[in-house]
Amino acid sequence: MLHLILPRESYPDMITILPSRQNAGRHGVRPINLRQDTRQILQLLDLTFSAELDTENRRALQRSLTMVSQPWYQPLVPAPGTAMPGFVWEEAGQVVGNVSMMETRQPGRFIIANVAVHPDWRRRGIAAEMMQAALDYLRNRRAHVVVLQVKQHNAPARNLYLRLGFAEIGAITGWMAASSHIRPLPLYSGGPTIRALRRREWRAAYTLDAASMPADLHWPDPLAADAYKTGFWPSLRGFFNGRQGEYWVTSNSEDRLTGLASIISEWQRPHLLTIRVHPDSRGQLERHLLAKLLRRLDYLPQRRVRLDHPAEDALMNQMLQEAHFQPQRTLIVMRLDL
């Protein structure tokens, strides 16, 4: 999804979507024309998703809105039919609906994002017609899989996607906390040994991750097979990208990985925490792994901390609240096999 916003005080007076004289008589769904639609789409997304976006994404939208207003921008926009596809719903030259699509790293796997309808035009079947146009387009492109995210409490949207054939895969809750507000978790004696992930164990770490969570819950792409690969070259790439990671694991008596905890830090972004536990060890390792990560944060630059985790994990939810994390939103991932 696109995460961007203007200050909320600007609504509704500062959000004005002006109709184009050239398209004043058009009505209904049509493909996106980036050269004429970009600004209206950004304004629509700003209006529709304003309450959901964090500071980072608000700034991104503001930059985008500023950029499309510059005289040098228009010649840089791809010609119609050459950019990533999508559809808009137009009423008398005004873009009142949008659905965007993008292909993931897996060929034939597409994401549908930014399903947005202007508040004044909702409950008229616009979202359903745009979605149907998008799915027809993807079928013609021989897409195999389509995935999307929807807010947990958005029952009308969930029902629409179910009618279109999507199935719910699971839900992810995003948790946030400021480093300075995090409360350490007290531990009890007899906990597991937690050690650094060995370089040769990157395949085992990937296997553990895959066993602990459906692949489609990773967003926007399923986890890459080499995601836990460490060593000189991954470290060098991370250095130039302003990204560093540390990985901690538990193992059983046969030295098979049972739990995994990681911290990924990127320049000017929240620290990203991850906890993965094998299904056979659930309920036994989570507290120790999370406590380890919280202790490690003391050695990293102070900034916000984020953790995205399956919403159904009641134990993790309880521990995150105990550590003073706050839930931001819960998104359901839905999938359609074409």
Token pair belonging to 167: 């199935």
Average model confidence (pLDDT) for the chain? Answer: 85
- Residue with more model confidence, 90 or 80: 90
Distance, in Å, from the CA atom of 250 to the CA atom of 259, rounded to the nearest integer, reads 5
Q: What pLDDT, on the 0 to 100 scale, is given for residue 243?
A: 87
Q: Are residues 273 and 183 in the same domain?
A: yes
Give the pLDDT of residue 33.
Answer: 86
* 57: pLDDT strictly greater than 90: no
Higher-pLDDT residue of 316, 45 = 316
Q: How many domains does the chain have?
A: 2
Residue 12 class from Cβ within 10 Å (0-12 exposed, 13-18 middle, 19+ buried)?
A: exposed
Same domain, 185 and 307: yes
Cβ atoms of 274 and 228 closer than 8 Å:
no
On whether residue 227 sits in a domain, the answer given is yes
CA atoms of 96 and 87, how far apart (whole Å): 11
The reply to whether 138 and 188 lie within a common domain is no
In a domain, 249, yes or no: yes
Is the CB of residue 159 less than 8 Å from the CB of residue 188? no
Give the structural domain span for 19: 8-143
Confirm whether 13 is domain-assigned.
Answer: yes
pLDDT of residue 180: 93
Tokens of 210: 């895959």
User: Which domain-ending residue is among 121, 143, 165?
Assistant: 143
Residue with tokens 């004289």: 21
**What's the pLDDT score for residue 134?**
96
| Residue 237 counted as domain residue | yes
> Where are the strands (E) in 94-229, listed by range?
94-103, 109-117, 145-151, 167-178, 195-196
Examine the domain organization and report whether 184 and 267 are in the same domain. yes
CATH code, 178: 3.40.630.30
Domain boundary among the residues 143, 158, 182 is at 143
Q: Is residue 238 over pLDDT 90?
A: no
Tell me, yes or no, whether 178 and 124 share the same domain: no
Q: Are residues 252 and 113 in the same domain?
A: no
Dump pLDDT digits (tens) for 258-306: 999 999 999 889 999 999 999 999 999 999 999 999 999 999 999 999 9
The H or E element spanning position 246 is: strand 243-251
Same-domain pairing of 79 and 216: no
Distance between CA atoms of residues 16 and 47, nearest Å: 10
Q: What is the DSSP letter of 129?
A: H
Same-domain status, 207 and 108 = no
Q: What percent of the chain has pLDDT over 70?
A: 82
* Owner of token pair 């536990």: 277
The answer as to whether 114 is a domain residue is yes
pLDDT in tens, 140-194: 999 999 999 999 999 999 999 999 999 999 999 999 999 999 999 998 778 999 9
Assigned domain for 194 exists: yes
Cβ-based burial of 217 (10 A; exposed 0-12, middle 13-18, buried ≥19): buried
Say if residue 80 is in the same domain as residue 209: no
User: Does residue 204 share a domain with residue 134?
Assistant: no
pLDDT tens for each residue of 206-217: 999 999 999 999
Q: Which phi and psi (to 5°) does residue 18 adopt?
A: -90, 135
